Each structure stands twice: as structure tokens, then as C-alpha cells.
Amino acid sequence: MKILVFGATGPGGQQLVQQALSQGHEVTAFARNPDGMSTGKRVRIVAGDTTLDAEQIAEAMRGQEAVLSALGRRKTIRSDNLIARSMHLIVPAMQQAGVRRLVVMSAFGVGGSLRDAPLIPRIMYRVLLADIFADKKAAEDEIRRSSLDWTIAYPVLLTDGPLTGHYRVGERLELRGVPKISRADVAHFMLAEMKNRAFVRKVAVLSY
């Protein structure tokens, strides 16, 4: 497939790009600062700011079959409304270009998923990540209002562990303690779901 990856230089985005290429997809990698990204026969790099550069987003969108987003603020706890402002441009660009499939990496604890969080993560979400999660929720609201075939992935605590291909996924999961999952396995799910479409217009909680 021809796919567009937003947040391609972040840890989750790098996994998406690497695994997509290994599976034979053609990748357009959209990044604010693509310096150091390797180019190749099946990867195209587009530099731009997802919150400002509507023209670059529209150009990158042409000819795509699916969009994957791993946008995030990395280690900061201040959102700057990055995800919501980005989706305000990405969603209409997809609709205008006729690209319907969207798979987004969000986070477990956003919106209604907070009710299923074990005690310690729930405290962390409410105290430390309130601003980050509010931004993700606003972005999800924008996505849900669209006519796109979206899937929102809700991974639990992310690690830099290896790709295992063995994890649990469901609209709701029973979780205990401080559950974890690797970014590599989240990328594995997102790429599989892009084609399998088991969670179209649904959320998917991911955990070991």
C-alpha cells in the first residue's frame, strides 16, 4: 500500500516507517525536522509542520491509500495542543483527497478508557498527563466527527522493547498494576489493522 506517516521521526513513527518498508509498503514520511532520515526507493520524505503547513500536507496526501499518525510530544507534559491542531488540518486534507483509512496512536487513559485504568496509572494520567490527554481527546473528537474509516489505538505504557507480535487487543481489556507494551508491537498492530480493518470506527486497547 501507499501510506503517509505523520510523526515519522519520533520513536513510534520510526517503528511504523521501518516495519512498513520491511512489509513492502511505499511510505511518505512527514516530519518537521527530517534531518538524518534515510531515503530509499520506497520512502519519500516531506518536511513540514502538521499544525501550520496545509499545503505540504495536501501535497503529501495525494495518491495515498492510508494515513498513520504517531504524532506526540515525546517527554514533555505540555501538549501545546499539538495533536488537536494537527488533526484540524490532517482530517480535512484526507477528506479532500479521498483518503479514507486513518490509524492513530493515542494513549490508554484518554477519554472513556480512563475508567478501566488500574489505580497507579490512573493517578499518573490525572496528575501528570492531564494536559497531554486533553489534547489527544480533542483530536479524537475531531476524528470521530469525520466520515473517515478511523481506528484509534490506545497503547498502555510504552517501552522500547522488541517486536514480539504477541499482545492483547480489544475495545476494553482487564488490566492490573502498570501494564506495558513496546512501541514496536504498537506499530505492528497499526500496520496490520490498516489492512485488516477489525476496529474501523472503534478504539483498540493494546497491552501484554
Pairs from 194-199 (Cβ < 8 Å, separation ≥ 24): 194/1, 194/3, 194/66, 194/68, 194/101, 194/103, 195/1, 197/101, 197/149, 197/151, 199/151, 199/171
* CATH number of residue 146's parent domain: 3.40.50.720
Q: Side chain identity at 40, as an amino acid letter?
A: G
pLDDT band at 77 (very low <50, low <70, confident <90, very high): confident
pLDDT digits (tens, 9 = 90+) for 152-166: 999 999 999 999 999
Ranges of beta strands (E only) in 18-124 are 26-31, 43-47, 66-69, 101-105
Which residues sit opposite 47 in a β-bridge? 31
pLDDT band at 78 (very low <50, low <70, confident <90, very high): confident
Owning domain of residue 103: 2-197+202-207
Which residues sit opposite 46 in a β-bridge? 30
pLDDT digits (tens, 9 = 90+) for 62-71: 999 999 999 9
pLDDT digits (tens, 9 = 90+) for 12-59: 999 999 999 999 999 999 999 888 787 778 999 999 999 999 999 999
pLDDT digits (tens, 9 = 90+) for 104-146: 999 999 999 999 999 999 999 998 999 999 999 999 999 999 9
Q: How many domains does the chain have?
A: 1
